[in-house]
């Protein structure tokens, strides 16, 4: 099962409000969506750019999912997210190919989507996210 599109590009930032202002200037757009994902200690802001999106990620606590990344790199390209029809099926197929997974089953991400991550070794050093719209959730 092939990837269908690049759903979004995730960028980790040390100051979310400053980054939102910068991306408003850069893109001429307003954010479409803002949501804290408590389980990850992350707050995500989505800019819709045509069919794709930019996801700005800020850390909300010291042990968040991106705290280590921010400490090491100070921010920047964090992940590339691909849209797939079925995250679980894609994970199973990629695992069968010997790729290293960070999630063996999908979980709920921002904007009511089912998401899962592959280890950066699968994507040339960049974290890979798989995502699929959750038909049971409200919103996008």
Query: Of the candidates 45, 46, 81, 87, which one interacts with Co ion according to CB under 5 A?
Result: 81
Contacts of 14 (CB under 8 A, 6+ apart): 58, 59, 70, 74, 75
Toward Co ion, which CB reaches closer, 20 or 81? 81
Binding residues for Co ion, rule CB under 5 A, total 4
Instruction: Give the distance from CA 71 to its chain's centroid.
Output: 18
Q: Which two tokens stand for residue 104?
A: 């063996």
Output the residue with the shortest Cβ distance to Co ion.
10
The least distance separating Co ion from the CB of residue 79, rounded to whole angstroms, comes to: 6
Q: Report if residue 83 touches Co ion, rule: CB under 5 A.
A: no
Tell me how far apart the alpha carbons of residues 57 and 49 are, in angstroms, rounded to a whole number: 17
58 touches Co ion (CB under 5 A): no
For residue 81, the minimal CB distance to Co ion (Å) is 4
* Minimal distance, residue 127 CB to Co ion, in Å: 9
Residue whose C-alpha is closest to residue 30's, from 48, 9, 12: 48
Q: Which of 40, 43, 55, 134 binds Co ion (CB under 5 A)?
A: 55
Residues 6+ apart with CB under 8 A from 81: 6, 7, 8, 9, 10, 55, 115, 128, 129, 130, 131
Per CB under 5 A, the segment of 26-34, 60-68, 80-88, 95-103 that binds Co ion is: 80-88
**Residue 130 within binding range of Co ion, rule CB under 5 A:** no
Report the SS3 class of residue 118: strand
> Which residues contribute to the site for Co ion (CB under 5 A)?
10, 55, 81, 129
């Amino acid at each position: 099962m092939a990837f269908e599109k690049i759903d979004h590009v995730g960028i980790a930032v040390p100051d979310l409000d400053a980054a939102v202002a910068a991306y408003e200037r850069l893109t001429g757009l307003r954010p479409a969506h803002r949501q804290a994902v408590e389980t990850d200690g992350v707050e995500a802001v989505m800019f819709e750019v045509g069919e794709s999106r930019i996801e700005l990620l800020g850390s909300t606590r010291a042990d968040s999912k991106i705290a280590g990344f921010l400490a090491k790199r100070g921010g920047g390209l964090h992940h590339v997210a691909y849209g797939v029809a079925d995250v679980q099926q894609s994970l199973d197929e990629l695992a069968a190919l010997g790729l290293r997974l960070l999630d063996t089953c999908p979980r709920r991400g921002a904007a009511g989507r089912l998401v899962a991550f592959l280890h950066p070794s699968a994507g040339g050093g960049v974290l890979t996210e798989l995502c699929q719209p959750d038909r049971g959730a409200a919103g996008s």
